[in-house]
Structure 1
Amino acid sequence: MAGGMYEALLHLFAIRQKKNEQTTLAFIVALIGLGLVFSSFHLIRQFSHWFRRRHGRSMMPYYLVAIPRTIRKWSLRRVVGVPSLGHASVVTIYFVVNVVCLFVNMDRKGLGTTTNIASRSGWLATANLLFVIFFALKNTPLAFLTTWSYERLNCLHRVCGYGALVHTIIHAACYSYYFTNTGQASILLRTSDIMGIVAGGSWVLLVLAAIFIRPWWYELFYYLHVILWVVSLITLGLHRPDLSSKVAIGTVVAGAMWGMDRLIRLVRMVFYTVNNSATLTPLSNGGTRVTLAKPPVGGIPGKHTFLWIPQIRLFQTHPFTIASAEPLEFVIASRDGFTGALHKYAVANPGVRLRASIEGPYGTLPDASAFETVVLIAGGSGASFIFGLAQALLRTKATSHVVTQKVVFVWIVKHNSQLEWFSDHFITLRSDPRFSVQVYVTRSSPPPPPLPSLHSGTTLQNEDEEKKGPRGFAGDDYERRQHLHAASSDSSIDLEKSSPPSDGESTLGADADPSIDEKNVLIEYQRPDIPGLIREVVGEVAAQESILIAGCGPGKLMDVMRETTADCIRWDGPSIELHCEKYGW
């Protein structure tokens, strides 16, 4: 009798195992299918751009224009908690699939509902773990299939992490409730179950660290992130070590993906350590120029690499945008941690050469030369990104396939002392007649007008010209101080994706007049009308042409760019491409 009951119970467990395997596989296939849909949408848009450039817009089928643009017009809209409505749609579908898979295809006649849900949630937690790791890979295949590289996938990485944690909590709560109510609480003290508790606890701490520690102290968060992940992976494997259960296969695959990605990064790092060094040059306003002796393959301005300088931080690498490729240069704004220590060392040892290496490059960049009109907008240290795109346009100027006719370059800073970092680069932009350069200083007061006898090369617009100022840059009220300046050299720059130092920080030469005041670039001491600028430029582009709107800066600036660009997308208007980079990683 007892033997028959045991065999019947094993049969029920086998049925549940099979249904869990089927549902988990369906969950994975559904999410992969969702990714393929978005990849297909991207490829269709790329084909549309190619077809338009090759055959003209009039030859394109209506649906190839209207349908993608209608989708993009709404998908670019801002939604609280995620970058856009497109992201929100993906997240919503993701959670719906999770909820459906938690309850469908379940045998409710044999084993109890509580244990069935507990078992299913454990499987789904492991399945979600696979996507958590996949979206965290630096060397992700999605960078080739979509416009999203790893930093743009970080939102999905976190969402899947939340999903895995929810399933883990359901798994632990249901089993704890069941075994406690049936007088079998001692089962939870088995070694395998203790390992599961440790794994689940590590995931809880991971999420709490991401929410509370990451914004406050990123370096501490990073160490905790890696340590807790390794602990959770090992203990999860010990929780279900039997490969025949197939749950362990998910653990092995997740660990293999993460390990392979780390190995690739380590090999790159070691390779670029050979005969490589970094030269540090202190800059005003807390900046540091870092010049590398050995550039990475494929390292172009606008992309970013992870920089390793063991003299500053032995066990840390940090991402910085490439500002110039020949030689490879970064310009880094100092804050706390690594960037602050780097600047202090550069001030104490100007021109010093230190052993260094890099790992990368990463990032997906639009081909700016494929658009008739390009709008580049940056806030603060985001200028390093748009200077990189501008350099790409300047390098391809002489080639036959370049169609770019107009480039609007806008940079917004808080203090005019920040302009000195990029002063040597402006003359390169001004030497190209396609570029319209506009700089805005939002917190500093304009310097007094120079006397003609002292600065004969500097001019001021007269009062009538001031009142007639361009609507796109100034709005209707153009009565303000303006100064003409103009630029120099092609020395490129990057600021770490962070804000410049606060007013109270000690900086080198922060009170000095920026050298850009000697140049021929228009500087306006006010906040720009970004929506007006974008609408005016788009309105001047012919329907058969295309326009790229690219920017990098704080979240609010990127939100304004997204909303305004979405408003400008029309099926009978020009083709509009938007590319936004935001501070933080």
Structure 2
Amino acid sequence: MSEALAVAIIDLGIRRYTRVTSFCEVETVFGTDLIKIKVKGSDRMMKSLVSRPGSHIYLSIPPTSRSKNTPLLLSYLGSEFISNPFTVASVDEEAGQFMLVVRQMRGPTTKALSSFSNPLSIDINFALSLDGPYGGYTNFPDFSGSEFDGVLLFAGGVGATFILQLYKHIRAENPSLRVQTIWATRNINEAAWCTTQTNSSLLKERGLRLFCTRSGLESVDSPAYECSNTSDVEMSSLDKESKVDDKSLPVESFQRPNIRQIVNAFFQQGRGGRVGVVVCGPDEMAADVRRAVTNWVERDRDVWFHNESFGW
């Protein structure tokens, strides 16, 4: 018990020392429960983010940015002990800034971020405490050589913040490698955050396939994915109206992606060599991808599989 407490105190001390506070631009993504956070990063942080795509940042709300109605003690405790990891969605090296895309939940951090994006909240400063980056591409295999026959990437919702950065890095590292990305979103607006970034051209590449549904029958609180018996992923819609023109985004289908069919086609089109498969999304999506890939492992195909998540 005492050893665990000592480790926790040391970890808290190190993170307090490396933490930086930066003023940020916070805005909501129309028609979704997503929040965009644009951060002016330090030189050290920007250098690390450029070399480590898919990294995440621990974000907390400092006392100066909390509502004046929040007791001082609660503001301090929240700043010290409540932090959440968010994957860096894009990096603009020239501007010296990066962007986070966060889904509004019921926790105190995303509730505070949601209030920041409200233009009526004039009593709140937009300063955020940031710690990192952590994780990222450092433990992945080398895709620059001829070891891999192809790489198949799956993103569910905001899981694209990790997958798109990985896709961009692999394409730059090995342009001749066969890489395909499947991005499944609740509705077309959830992909809109990517259209205003310097890497928006990624959405127009042939290797990226975007799937959306927008029936308008589901609420924001409804689950985004449901597993079916055919190993598909069901996307529910958030609203009937879309601020984004359908033609402005290369949506392949407004129906569910057939995970098994996509995996089978990718493996069949290759030369029979090693295949990398990465998924970042809900547990149901990861389970469907794993089941589809297992069929090929049982046929003696060499597969490197990675499921990116923050679960324990």
TM-score scaled to structure 2, two decimals? 0.73
CA distance, structure 2, for counterparts of residue 380 and residue 254 of structure 1:
35
Question: How many residues align structurally?
Answer: 263
Maintained 8 Å contact 2:90/2:161:
no
Give the secondary-structure state (helix, strand or coil) at the position aligned to 2:167. helix
Post-superposition CA distance 1:434-486 (Å, at most 9, x none): x42222224527xxxxxxxxxxxxxxxxxxxxxxxxxxxxxxxxxxxxxxxxx
Q: 1:386 aligns with which of 147, 153, 163?
A: 163
Q: What is the rounded CA distance, in whole Å, between the counterparts of 2:304 and 2:12 in structure 1?
A: 33
Which residue does 1:519 correspond to in 2?
Answer: 248
Distance 1:583 1:259, change over 3 A: closer
Q: 1:444 to 1:361 in 2, by over 3 A?
A: same
- Is residue 267 of structure 2 the alignment partner of residue 538 of structure 1? yes
TM-aligned CA deviation for residue 417 of structure 1: 3.0
Aligned residue number for residue 261 of structure 1: 11
Give the Cα–Cα distance (whole angstroms) in 1 for the partners of residues 277 and 245 of structure 2: 26
The ranges of structure 1 where at least 4 consecutive aligned residues each deviate by more than 6 angstroms after the TM superposition are 350-353
The answer for the alignment partner of 2:226 in structure 1 is none
Say which SS state the counterpart of residue 428 (structure 1) adopts: helix
Q: Within 2, Cα distance between the matches of 1:349 and 1:547?
A: 50
Deviation at 1:428, TM superposition (A): 1.7
Unaligned ranges ≥5, structure 2? 67-74, 223-237
Instruction: Tell me what 1:377 maps to.
Output: 154
Indicate which of 18, 24, 28 corresponds to 1:282.
28
Q: Tell me, yes or no, if structure 1 residue 325 matches structure 2 residue 91.
A: yes
Structure 1 residue 558 displacement after superposition? 0.6
Cα separation, 2, equivalents of 1:421 and 1:355:
21
More strand by share: 2
Aligned positions of 1:200-219 closer than 5 A: none
CA spacing shift, 1:557–1:306, aligned 2, 3 Å: same
Q: Out of 126, 142, 159, which is 1:354 matched to? A: 126
Q: What SS is found at the alignment partner of 1:408?
A: strand
Q: Is the 8 A contact 2:279 2:306 kept in 1?
A: yes
1:122-137 to 2 correspondence within 5 Å? none
Deviation at 1:307, TM superposition (A): 0.8
| 1:582 partner SS | coil
Change (3 A) 1:511 1:339: farther
Residue 39 (structure 2) pairs with residue 292 (structure 1): yes
The structural deviation recorded for 1:255 is 3.8
Specify whether residues 501 and 339 from structure 1 end up closer, same or farther in structure 2 by C-alpha distance, changes over 3 A only.
farther
Q: How many Å apart are 1:303 and its aligned residue?
A: 1.6
Name the SS of the counterpart of 1:369 in structure 2: coil
Report the CA distance shift for 1:354/1:414 in structure 2 as closer, same or farther (over 3 A): closer
- Contact between 1:334 and 1:501, CA under 8 Å: does it hold in 2? no
Distance 1:353 1:551, change over 3 A: farther
Match of 2:55 among 279, 284, 303: 303
RMSD over aligned CA atoms reads 3.1
**Cα distance, 1:511 vs. partner?**
5.2
In structure 1, distance between residues paired with 2:141 and 2:246? 32
Q: Is the 8 A contact 2:56 2:136 kept in 1?
A: no
Matching of residues 28-39 of structure 1 within 5 Å: none
- Corresponding residue for residue 176 of structure 1: none
CA offset at residue 320 of structure 1? 0.6
CA contact (8 A) 1:558 1:582 kept: no
Q: Pick the aligned partner of 1:413 from 160, 185, 202.
A: 185
| CA contact 1:333–1:339 (8 Å) conserved in 2 | yes
Question: Given residue 414 of structure 1, which amino acid in structure 2 is its aligned partner?
Answer: R
Q: Quote the offset at 1:254 in angstroms.
A: 3.7
Distance 2:152 2:121 in 1: 36
Structure scoring higher RCO (CA < 8 A, sep ≥ 6) equals 2
Identity %: 22
Q: Check whether the contact 1:419–1:514 (CA below 8 A) recurs between aligned residues.
A: no
- CA 1:404/1:567 → structure 2, altered by over 3 Å: closer, same or farther? farther
TM-score, normalisation: structure 1: 0.41
Amino acid at match of 2:35: T
What secondary structure does 1:533 align onto?
A: helix
The answer as to whether partners of 2:215 and 2:240 remain within 8 angstroms in 1 is: no
Gap change, CA 1:514 and 1:548, over 3 Å in 2? farther
Do the aligned partners of residues 254 and 502 (structure 1) sit closer, same or farther apart at CA in structure 2, a change above 3 Å counting?
Answer: closer
Counterpart AA for 2:103: A
Give the conservation status (yes or no) of the 8 Å contact 2:214–2:240: no
Hey, what's the Cα distance between the residues in 2 that align with 1:538 and 1:354? 47
Secondary structure class of the residue paired with 1:356: strand
Q: Distance in 1 between matches of 2:121 and 2:162?
A: 26
Residue of structure 2 in register with 1:578 after alignment: 305
CA gap of 1:422–1:501, structure 2 versus 1, over 3 A, is farther
